């Protein structure tokens, strides 16, 4: 009887061990293999993966064209806020300084045209802002062919705004056209910025806005330019590309130099035609 009990105990023990082994194998069969099967589901992205970021690098001081940069605000959205209290009585932007009694004389390199720009002591209130009046005359040989009165004002940040112009073209001493004349606040015209306080390469801005009459804009091309003129050289100059929405094919480069306090050189895009600053003088006004 005692021997039978021992046999039963051994049988139970063997069965118990067999059951443990069976359960262990079952669990192992239900676990996913850890080795690479060589297959992948391309329609799914692992939850832990991150899409790669696209990074582009622009070389510093790269010359850009008007089509390469962000264009100025569209005409229908252009509506600058002008408050008289935001403006000061002087124009001292280093690239565009207008000190009354200063005369800038320019000539084409072939000597065929002369342009004399005089900063007057006259002022005019336009759109509530007190502006400085500039008198600009162009001669071809000894004949006056163009006369323009321009109005500018500088805001507290240092931006110089252009508030309008009274333009006249002459032939044989008589006015033949006033095309291009405009004044802020008249017939929907709005002022633009002729010179930024802190120009940035690639930045575009409207210089004026009178629909179908005056729609010039500028693009900052480069800073730190050296300008070589027949009279002298200028350094640390600003180069802009000026263009028109009215005349898409018309554009030119302009160079503004702190040593001159204003425009020093104007050229067409291939540099063939040049209008150079030849003198700066003090005049009685």
What's residue 272's pLDDT? 77
pLDDT tens for each residue of 146-167: 999 999 999 999 999 999 999 9
| pLDDT tens track for 62-105 | 343 444 454 566 777 899 999 999 999 999 999 999 999 999 99
Distance separating alpha carbons of residues 28 and 40, to the nearest angstrom = 23
Q: What's the CA angle centered on 167, arms 220 and 270, to 5 degrees?
A: 40
Domain covering 75-282, topology: YmcC-like fold (2.40.360)
pTM of the model: 0.75
Beta strands in the chain (DSSP E): 87-88, 91-93, 96-98, 102-108, 113-126, 129-140, 143-155, 160-171, 174-177, 182-183, 190-195, 204-206, 208-209, 216-228, 233-244, 251-257, 262-267, 274-282
Mean pLDDT, the chain, rounded, equals: 81
Cβ pair 197, 158 in contact under 8 A: yes
22 confidence band (pLDDT: 50, 70, 90): very low
Question: Cβ distance 281 to 105 under 8 Å?
Answer: yes
What is the C-alpha to C-alpha distance for residues 170 and 172, in angstroms, rounded to an integer? 7
**pLDDT surpassing 80 at residue 3:** no
Residue 40 half-sphere exposure toward CB, CA atoms < 13 A: 6
Count of positions (residues) in the chain:
285
Residue 13 has pLDDT above 90, yes or no: no
Amino acid 191: pLDDT = 98
């Amino acid at each position: 009887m005692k021997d039978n009990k021992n046999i039963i105990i051994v049988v139970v023990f063997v069965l118990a061990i067999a059951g443990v082994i069976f359960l262990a194998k079952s669990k192992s069969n239900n676990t996913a293999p850890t080795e690479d099967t060589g297959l992948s589901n391309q329609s799914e992205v692992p939850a832990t993966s991150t899409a790669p970021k696209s990074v582009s690098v622009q070389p510093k001081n790269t010359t850009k064209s008007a089509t390469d940069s962000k264009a100025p605000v569209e005409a229908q959205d252009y509506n600058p806020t002008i408050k008289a209290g935001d403006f000061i009585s002087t124009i001292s932007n280093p690239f565009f300084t207008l000190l009354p009694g200063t005369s800038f004389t320019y000539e084409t390199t072939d000597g065929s045209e002369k342009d004399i720009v005089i900063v007057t002591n006259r002022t005019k209130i336009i759109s509530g802002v007190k502006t400085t009046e500039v008198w600009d005359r162009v001669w071809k040989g000894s004949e006056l062919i163009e006369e323009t009165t321009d109005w500018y004002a500088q805001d507290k940040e240092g931006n110089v705004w252009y508030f309008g112009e009274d333009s006249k073209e002459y032939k044989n001493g008589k006015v033949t056209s006033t095309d291009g004349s405009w004044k802020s606040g008249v017939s929907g015209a709005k002022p633009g910025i002729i010179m930024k306080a802190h120009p940035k390469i690639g930045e575009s801005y409207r210089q004026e806005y009178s629909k179908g009459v005056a729609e010039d804009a500028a693009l900052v091309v480069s800073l730190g330019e050296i300008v070589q003129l027949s009279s002298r050289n200028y350094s640390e100059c600003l180069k802009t590309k000026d263009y028109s929405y009215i005349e898409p094919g018309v554009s030119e480069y302009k160079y503004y130099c702190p040593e001159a306090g204003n425009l020093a050189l104007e050229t067409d895009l291939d540099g063939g035609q040049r209008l150079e600053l030849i003198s700066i003088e003090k005049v009685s006004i």
